A and B are shown apart, each in its own frame.
Chain A
Amino acid sequence: MTTAVQYAVLICVLAGLISGVVAVAVSRDIRIGLRIALDLWLAAGLLRLALPQSGDQLLAAAVIIVVRQLVAAALRRPATRSAQPSGTRRDTATELLPRD
C-alpha cells in the first residue's frame, strides 16, 4: 500500500504542475495557476499523511501543508485588496454625480 500511495502522491504533484501551467497559459495570471497547483499539491500532502511515518516525517508533512495553506491565503489577499479601491472609487463617483 505504501508504494501505491507514493505513486499516487507523485501523480498528484504532476497533475498540480500540469494544471498550474495550463491555468497560467489560459488566464495569463500566475496567481490563478499557483492557486490551482497548490490545491492539488495539498491533496498530495494529505495523501502523504496516510503513509506510516515517524514523528519527524509527520511534522515535515504537516509543515509543508501549513506553508502551502499560507501561500494560498497570501495569494487570495492581494486580489481582494486590489478589488476594494476600485469598488469604493466607483461608489464615491456615483455619489458625487447627483450633487453636481
Chain B
Amino acid sequence: MTEIFGEEWLSQAVDLLVRLVEAAGALIIFAGAMVAFIRFVIVAIRDRRTESFVPVRLGLGRFLALRLEFQLASDILRTAIAPTLREIAELAAVAAIRTALNYFLGREIKEERAELAKRQGDGAGTAGPLR
C-alpha cells in the first residue's frame, strides 16, 4: 500500500497533473490569441472603425486572465511536491507575478468595459433626439 501511495508515486502524479494543466493553459492562450487575431483582421477590413476593436481586445483580455488562472492552479499543484525552500520561493515569486498580472488585467478589462458601455450610452443618447 505504501509503495502505491509513496512519495515518488505522488510526485509523478502531481507532475503529470501540472503538465496537463499547463498544456490546457497554453492551448487556451494560443486559441484566444488566434481568435482575437482573426477577429481583428475581419473587423479592420469589414468595419474600419476603431471602436470595433474594443470588444475584440476585451475577449482577448478574458482569455489572458483565464490562462493566468490555469497557471496559478499549476503553481499551487507544484507546491505539493516542492521539497526545497528555494523551489518554494521560486514558485511563490511566479505566483505573485501571475496574481499581480491577473489583477491589473482584470482592472484593465473593467475599464475597457466601462468605456465601451459609456460609448454605447453616448451613441444611444445622441441617436435618441435625432429620431
Binding site for B on A (CB under 8 A): 1, 5, 8, 11-12, 15, 18-19, 22-23, 25-27, 29, 32, 35-36, 39-40, 42-44, 46-47, 49-50, 55, 58, 62, 65, 69, 72
Tell me whether A69 and B44 are in contact in the complex, defined as CB-CB below 8 angstroms, given that A29-B50, A46-B64 are known contacts.
Answer: no
Decide if A40 touches B33 in the complex (CB within 8 Å): yes
Contacts of B41 in A (CB 8 A): 18-19, 22
Give chain B's interface secondary structure class. helix
In the complex, 19 of the A-B residue pairs with CB atoms within 8 angstroms, ordered by the A residue number, are A1-B19, A1-B23, A12-B33, A15-B33, A18-B37, A23-B40, A23-B50, A26-B48, A32-B50, A40-B60, A43-B36, A43-B64, A43-B67, A44-B33, A46-B101, A47-B29, A50-B71, A58-B94, A72-B108
A49 to B98, CA, bound (A): 10
A63 to B95, CA, bound (A): 15
Tell me whether A43 and B60 are in contact in the complex, defined as CB-CB below 8 angstroms, given that A12-B30, A15-B37 are known contacts.
Answer: yes
Does any Cβ of A come within 8 Å of B9's Cβ? no
| Cβ-closest chain A residue relative to B104 | A69
Identify 9 new A-B residue pairs, CB closer than 8 A, beyond the known A49-B71, A49-B94.
A1-B23, A12-B30, A22-B40, A22-B44, A36-B53, A39-B36, A40-B37, A47-B26, A65-B101
| Cβ-closest chain B residue relative to A65 | B101
Contacts of B98 in A (CB 8 A): 49
Tell me the minimal C-beta distance from A80 to chain B in angstroms.
9
Contacts of B32 in A (CB 8 A): 43
Tell me the minimal C-beta distance from B95 to chain A in angstroms.
11
